Structure formats: structure tokens, C-alpha cells
Amino acid sequence: MVRTLEYGAWPSPIDASLAAAHDGQPESVGFVGDEAWWIEPRPTEGGRRTLVRRTADGREESVLPPSWNVRSRVMEYGGRPWAGAMRPGGPLVVFVNFADQRLYAYEPAAPGAGPRPLTPLSPVGGGLRWVDPQVHAERGEVWCVLEEFTGDGPTHVRRVAAAVPLDGSAAQDRDSVRELTDARHRFVTGPRLSPDGRRAVWLAWDHPRMPWDGTELVVAEVRGEGTFGEPRTVAGGPDESIAQAEWASDGSLLYVSDRTGWWNLYRDDVPLCPREEEFGGPLWKVGLRWFAPLENGLIAVVHGRGASRLGILDPDRGEVVDTAGPWTEFAATLAVHGSRIVAVGAGPRSAYEVVELDCRTGRTRVIGAAHEDPVDPAHYPEPRIRTFTGPGGREIHAHIHPPHHPDHVAPDHELPPYVVWAHGGPTSRSPHVLDLEIAYFTSRGIGVAEVDYGGSTGYGREYRNRLREQWGVVDVEDCAAVALTLADEGTADRDRLAVRGGSAGGWTTAVSLTTTDVYACGTILYPVLDPVSWGSGETHDFESRYLETLVGPYAEVPARYAERSPLEHADRITAPFLLLQGLDDAICPPAQCERFLARLAGRRIPHAYIAFEGEGHGFTRAETMVRVLEAELSLYAQVFGLNPPGIPTLELTK
């Protein structure tokens, strides 16, 4: 029987522990011989990430014990942290260990052998870090990106492509690491070697650009002794973003460029499938992959507009055939071996899982991290893709997740509370996939609206450029427009609207609370709160000049920074809020939160501040995520007058 209960009081089988245990997704897929391997999160094992292999008999095995955490810190966001090759004695895998950021080699088939270090430690600043490895066993090397700190400051850093000996001779000797490129560019990706071994290609860019603003496609001849000739820029520039480059089996150069306003695929400057959709995305992590060439000349592609499907592109005909199946969203990771393609896909009724497509037969199957319903899927959200109208008539894309429960409805007269979710980045977007954190709220009677505000990716360069010098304006206006439209049409309760977000979404949340009266409360996670300090040495090198694009050069528009700063306008906050922060966050350090709270002293605004030891930018530990979800729900319960059963009460101070 369907029972009538007020919104927020519906009993849900999706508790915080269940949602936390399913947080994260597989990433960095690859092949080692015939085996598919990938990285998988382990929230209940201290938030580590482990390397998993699918053996010939179909079993999934964690390659490394819990003491190892396969994750890079290059540019703080990291990137592809492993590579492997099959040798006569079995697989050889090279990986980055999070704790010390050293590169290690491991041969699982070698009896009694554990991982052995390939690179040394450095006492300078953040030390030596590695990402995007490529094993060249025939050369006795692994090629990768080296990030080397030259001082104690976060911007005292250089990055080059480097070759690390596989014999371990560089484990205690920095001089044994062979630099393949000079440090003429601030940022580089790992070099890719052409099939004939005579050329290498990589991407490069410099401050103040971010990689989605403009990158250069660089090619160099590879000499017989393995050194690079003079690099040549063959495409790209300050206003053209090239997101990925690879060699095809015939030696032609493939790359993704947004020179037309959309990330499309090119072969030696010839567009292969010109469309107003994306075949690439923002390069937040080194080693992301949206396409992979097959030996037969076809190309596996992750593409779409507002979503990313997996398809096979015939470059001669310019046609794409998408894979069949329930997956409506694929992550930016691909690997190919023969006719086999491995990717990571998800849908609105399933979380991310490792998917294999055989392009000869068209057969698709799940081979790893298979989604299993932990509860009756009748409790999952039933999202709707919508387009709203914002200021000036501009389009705003969003995913709306109404409250949903198979056994409960609200009284006829009651409108539901809604929480607007502002994604991070801000150059990112909200994937249209099952998220148990969203289900945690919707199954209790609280709606969620994920807003792809202006500046989001997936909708072309013009859409993401809406945020140029408008951060704290367009994002705030778009989120408010969605919230108020939901209220005006009778979908949401105007008096029970909240906003929440992490990182850049935390900024949007904080600015929303200081500049609008739309929301009754807000949840702010690891945010930017003080743009002046954040843009002048308080954050990491990768984003240290980002505000010049998002807000404007500080020397030219200092008043704009003060005008939009949540810190400077903390006295305008009148709504209760929850502030959540990792104490090890190098991107948005906790000092900002402390200054923000000091400005609020004596103002008697109900709030809570929870800081987590051992957590950085983005929480990874199950126990942290449980505390976060329960605290967030308690905030909404207190402000909205809800009665969720079994939730600890969050103490709000004044």
C-alpha cells in the first residue's frame, strides 16, 4: 500500500553508509596483453584506489594489497597513474603510489617479489611526481610526465616529459632520469610514440591559459639514441583547445580540436566527423582519453552533446555507430586491443561499470565493477533532462530529480523541498547517471536539481565561454533561475529551496548565499571563498592563474574580486549553512574557511563547520562521506521542518 507522509519523512533503504560505499567510479582502463585492467576506488579501505585486473577465466583481482594507493598528484588532480605490458614471464605494471608519489614497477607473477621503486624521493617542496606513464619495454624505459618542485611554494615547479629506466637505476639517482623535453612550457602531457618509432607527439600550454582555453600540439623527431629533436607546434594556439592526440596505425596524426567551437576529431588537419557535439572535453587530468584508434582504421570515440556515448567512427565515411546498451554516459577513458574496446559507462539506473565492446561482432558486455542493485531500484530517482530559460533568454541545461519513493507520497497540498546542486570545475558538467548520494535525498522526499550553468562543458565552446570574467554572476544567476522556475511552476516549495556544491560549486553556493535571497540554507564543500588570496599564491600551480579568465586580471579589476568575494560579504549571509573542509586540501586550503568564519563571529547565523583530517580536495573515505550526508540532511531537516527518521542531529552554532 502507498502511504501518505510529509516530504522528508519517507523511510529510505538508502542510508549514508550505503551511499558512501558506492561512491566513486572505475577509471584509467587499459590492456596488459589480453587482459583488461583498471583503477577502482575503495572508500571503505581508507579511500585508496587500487589496480584491478580481469583474468583469462573472468575473475576480477585486486593487483595490490591495501597498503598501496594507485594515484598521482601531478597538478594535484592527478591523472592516469599506471601502465602495463605483457612480457614472457608475465605482466609488468608501472604505477604511482599516492603516499610518496614514487613510480614503482611490479611483476605479479614473480614469486615473492613486491613493487620496487623506479624513481627517487626529493626533499624539495612537493617533491617529484609522475603521471601518464607509457611502458617502452624494448627501450628499457617508461615515458611519463615529471612534475618537479624547485622550492617550497606551490608554484615553484617545472614539468617535462621524461624517460625513467625500468631497471631501477634511478630509484636513488635523480640524474638517471632522462628528460625528453625542456621546460619551455609550463604544462605538458605524456608523449606518444608513432608506430615507426620516429616521432613523438604531446600537448603543451602555459599560464594564464587553462587547457580548455588553448593548447599546442607538439611533434618532435625521435633520434636513434632516444632523444628528441627540436619540437614543432603543428596545431593549436591560445584560442584553440586540443584535448588529446594519438597516432593511428598508419602513422597519421589524430587529434581533437575545438577550432570550430566544438571538440571534433581531425586526421592531419582534416575533420573526420564535423558535428555540433563534443568528441573531447576539459583536460582536468593528464591522460584522459576520448578516442582510441583501432588497428583496422576505425576509431573508438566517446562523444555527444550534454552526454557522452560510446561509438565507432569510420573516418573514411565520417559516420559514427553507437554501441547498444543501457549506458547513456561514458567517462573519458578508453583502451583498445585488436577488435576489443574497453570503456567505463553508466546510466540513470546503473552506476559506472567497465564495459567491453567487440567491434567485429557488435557485442557489448560488462567485464568489471558490474553494477548490482544494493536496494530495490524502485527507490532510485527518476530524473528528467530539462532546458530552462535564464537571464537574457539564455538556455540553461539541468537534470531534475523529483522526490520519489515506491511506497510513499506526500499530502496533496504539500510542495517538495529542493536542493540545487552546483557542480565543480567550474569547467565541468553533471553526468546523467545513477548517484546514490542523490537517491539518498530523493528517496526521503527531497528533490535535487543538477544545474549545468553557463561555463559547463558538453555544449560547445560558446556555452562554456559564458563564464569568462563572469564567475560568481552567470553561475549564480543560472542556478537561481532553475530554482525559481521550479518554484513558480509548482514543482518545488519556494520557501524550502537550498543550494549545495563543492570546490567551484562551493564558490557558487557561497556567492549565492551572499548575493541572493533565493535559498533558505546551503551546504558548502571545500570551496573557494577568498579569490584574492586564492589567486595570489594560496592554491596550487595548475589553477593559480585561472581567475584571470574566470574573473579578470586582478591588477586590472581588483574591485571585481572584492565585489564577488564571499569572504568580503560574509556579513550579508542570513541563511543557515554547513561548511565542510578537508584539512589536507592543497587546492582550497582550510585557511579560507577559517577566515570566512572569523568574519561571521558575533552575527548569530546558525551554521556548522566540520573539518576532516586526512581528507583533501574531494572526500574519499567512507566514514567522511557518511558524516557529510547525515550532516547535510540534518541541516535541511532543521531549516525546512522535516522529520527524517534515524538521522543524527547536526548541532548548529550561532
Q: Which three cell numbers stand for residue 238?
A: 591560445
State mean pLDDT over 442-458: 98
CB-based contact 92:102 (threshold 8 Å): no
User: How far apart are the C-alpha atoms of 136 and 195, rounded to whole Å?
Assistant: 12
State mean pLDDT over 282-309: 97
State mean pLDDT over 474-490: 98
HEC sequence for 306-344: CCCEEEEEECCCCEEEECCCCCCEEEEEEEEECCEEEEE
- For CA atoms 489, 493, 494, 498, the dihedral sign is negative
State mean pLDDT over 140-159: 96
b/e map 185-216, b = 16+ CB within 10 Å: bbbbbbbbbbeeeebbbbbbbeeebbbbbbbb
Per-residue confidence at 438, pLDDT binned at 50, 70, 90?
very high
Q: What's residue 225's pLDDT?
A: 87
State mean pLDDT over 448-475: 98
In one-letter notation, the amino acid at residue 589 is: P
Q: What's residue 113's pLDDT?
A: 84
User: How far apart are the C-alpha atoms of 589 and 529, rounded to whole Å?
Assistant: 10
Q: Which three cell numbers stand for residue 101?
A: 608519489
What pLDDT, in 10s, does the model give residues 254-281? 999 999 999 999 999 999 999 999 999 9
In the chain, % of residues over pLDDT 70: 100
Query: Average pLDDT over the chain, rounded to whole?
Result: 96
What pLDDT, in 10s, does the model give residues 486-520? 999 999 999 999 999 999 999 999 999 999 999 99
Q: What's residue 204's pLDDT?
A: 98
State mean pLDDT over 163-184: 96
State mean pLDDT over 482-489: 98
Q: What's residue 112's pLDDT?
A: 81
What pLDDT, in 10s, does the model give residues 413-436? 999 999 999 999 999 999 999 999
Q: What's residue 224's pLDDT?
A: 87
Apex 122 CA angle, 119 and 125, nearest 5 = 135
What pLDDT, in 10s, does the model give residues 359-383? 999 999 999 999 999 999 999 999 9
Q: What's residue 272's pLDDT?
A: 97
State mean pLDDT over 135-161: 96
Predicted structure pTM score: 0.96
Q: What's residue 602's pLDDT?
A: 86
Provide the phi-psi class of 363: left if phi over 0, else alpha when psi is between -120 and 50, else beta.
beta
Q: Which of 482, 424, 421, 484 is nearest to 457 (CA)?
A: 424
Per-residue confidence at 91, pLDDT binned at 50, 70, 90?
very high
Q: What's residue 110's pLDDT?
A: 86
